[in-house]
Structure 1
Amino acid sequence: MQTLQDMERKLKSADDLHTVVRTMKSLAAVSIRQYEDATRSLDRYFESVEMGLRAALRTHPLVGNQKEPHKTLIIVFGSDQGMAGRFNEAIVEFVQAARHEMKIKDDRLLTWVIGAKAHGLMEDTIGKVNQFFSLPPSAEGISPKVQQILLLLAEIRKKHGELRLILFHNHPAGGSSYTQHRVNLLPPDQKWLKDLGGRQWVDRQIPLYTLPWEELFGALIGEYLFVAFFRAFASSMAAENAARLASMQRAEKNIEETKEELTRTFHTLRQNTISEELFDVISGFEALSETSEDSR
């Protein structure tokens, strides 16, 4: 049978847990804003990259000149930490469906995974993971991580030739919800390139460049990849915190309901204890009264 001391300990534990959950809720909300701001900070930079590509493609249209890649590299963004609901399960299921749709043979597929939780799930459900990366601890750590991946990507492209590169990540959908995104990075989208090269220039002065065209175009595609990877990191990490926020909201609701139940039980138990003590006092008083009357 539970005692008042047991109930007090349970209520204190519930209060402590409630405090932790509220703190994690606040941290998740702040982190969402941090990563969304990081994504928006690249918008102007990406406009500059697009302008450079427009200038390069004015005289060197690429449409129809690209070879079919022999290998496909998929990069899956997950999380390193838990308490985010089905965040990792959702993206892995999305990858499974896309892989089935693309019908890629195992000997032509390379798989990279970002995030320890997603890494384990990918190995369990899809098979071998060729490369694993941990997530950066904050928005400031995204750029170095992207540079690390791009350097390794350059080595893989030298080894296997041009790749089909596809990113899979969760994306915030407002509030504490998120959706799954697939981004086809390489080869660059033909329609996009044609549209860029065919746009009218922004002013009367035609752009000039002194670098060899292939070197210029390669550098611009490298910057395009940097922006795309940075956005994927920031979007995925914002979505992770949105998922964690939703989990903490559910946990907070459950804790509050548990606290209410524990409080009711505590009050009932305390009232019963008080009633029993009163009955004991009354019974003792009556017994003493009867003894006094008998002695007379």
Structure 2
Amino acid sequence: MAQTLEHLSRKNNTLTSIRGIVHTMKTLSAINAAPYEQAAQSIEAYHQTILQGFAAFIYRTGGASLLTEATQPNKRLLVAFGSDHGLCGNYNELLADTVTEYSKNQPMVKQHILCIGSRMSNALLEQKLTPDVVLMPPASADGIGRLAGDIVMHIERLGRGQPLANLVVTLIYTQRAKHGYQESVTRALLPLDKSLLQPERRWHSRSLPDYSMAADALLSSLVRNHVFASVFRASAEAMVTENATRLALMQQAEQSVDEQLEEVQQEMSNVRQDEITNELMDIVIGHLA
């Protein structure tokens, strides 16, 4: 059925408005990703300093024995970094699938879930998983430190009075993959990786490491900063990936709208040409009559 010029004109205006919105969202996604990327790089440099502190501590003390080993952890905390914003596809649903799959393959111990974002919470509820705590994602790169501090506080509250080895903390988030895709990452945070507690065979500098704090206090500070930096890094990477995902989807949407606009404008041109032709024919026929 042929469409009228008026109908095509309204459709053209609607598509033009949609394209403007899509273009704005694409631009915002590209702009928002940059500060999160910088935050991720900065915390990575800080984390390397913390890891050097671990190496120095172990080199001087052989401090692996300071951590009490447990035969079986009695608590598990999953921290899922989801999104609270739309236009990023099935971002939260894919992450919820990863959380569900991970939970099925773990020993039967008391599990707690801390999730970031109300949409992530809804995705987990659909998987029959109920979060214990729901935190809001950062509105900007400045908010990552606030979020990381809140998560560290919940970890400390959950593990208070127990050896580190009795608490399992796992970070589940998305990171960028090749060709613009995203992938879910499951990273063990606690208990500490044994590689952190292996003494260096040979120190990399002529100046041997030393410290003046009590060993327990220093180790506690190193562990806390390691946890904070790891959580901060996961949050920043999740936000970069979210914006990258939204950017890719907006690019696809923009291309689709452009194709529809081209079709509508071509049809408008054809309809306008037909109307002009009909009017000319009416004039010619009227003149001949």
Calculate the TM-score normalised by the size of structure 2. 0.91
2:181 equivalent to 1:177: yes
Question: What does the per-residue CA deviation read over 1:247-276, in whole Å, with 9 as the maximum and x for residues that have no partner?
Answer: 111111210111111112111211121122
The letter of the residue matching 1:146 is A
Q: Which of 109, 113, 117 is the aligned partner of 1:115? A: 117
Alignment of 1:265-284 (within 5 A): 265-284=267-286
Q: CA deviation at 1:56?
A: 1.8
Asked if the contact 2:23–2:254 (Cα under 8 Å) also holds between the matched residues in 1, the reply is yes
Is 1:167 aligned to residue 168 of structure 2? no
Alignment-mate amino acid for residue 173 of structure 1? A
Match of 1:36 in 2: 37
SS at match of 2:204: coil
> What's the CA shift for 1:277?
1.5
Offset of residue 27 of structure 1 = 1.9
Q: Would you say the 8 A contact 1:72–1:163 is kept in 2?
A: yes
Query: Does 2:98 align with 1:97?
Result: no
Count of matched residue positions in the alignment of Structure 1 and Structure 2: 283
Identity of aligned residues (%): 29
Give CA-to-partner distance per residue, 1:119-158, whole Å, 9 cap, x none.
Answer: 1000111321100011111111101111122122211212
Between the aligned partners of 2:175 and 2:95, the Cα distance in structure 1 is 10
- Alpha-carbon shift at residue 228 of structure 1 (Å): 0.3
Distance 1:126 1:235 in 2: 27
SS, match of residue 113 in structure 2? strand
Equivalent residues in 2 for 1:258-269 (5 A)? 258-269=260-271
Aligned to 1:232: 234
1:206 and 1:126 map into 2 onto residues whose CA distance is 53
Q: Name the structure 1 match of 2:217.
A: 215
Structure 1 gaps, min length 5: 288-296
Give per-residue Cα distances to partners, 1:50-101, cap 9 Å, x unaligned. Answer: 1211122221332684223201000111101111122112111122222222
Change beyond 3 A, Cα 1:267–1:213: same
Question: Which aligned segments of 4 or more residues in structure 1 are displaced greater than 6 angstroms?
Answer: none
Cα deviation, residue 160, structure 1: 6.9
Name stretches of at least 5 consecutive residues in structure 2 with no aligned partner: none
Checking the alignment, whether the CA contact within 8 Å between 1:66 and 1:187 is kept in structure 2 is no
Decide which moves more: 276-285 or 266-275.
Answer: 276-285
Aligned to 1:45: 46
Secondary structure at 1:76 match in 2: strand
What are the superposed Cα offsets for residues 17-61 of structure 1, whole Å, 9 maximum, x if unpaired? 112212221221222332222111123211211121112222133
Matched, 1:190 2:194: yes
Confirm or deny: 8 A CA contact 1:167 1:185 kept in the other structure: yes
The alpha-carbon deviation at position 205 of structure 1 amounts to 2.7
C-alpha offsets along residues 143-194 of structure 1, whole Å, 9 cap, x if unaligned?
Answer: 1111122122211212776410000000012453221111100000113322
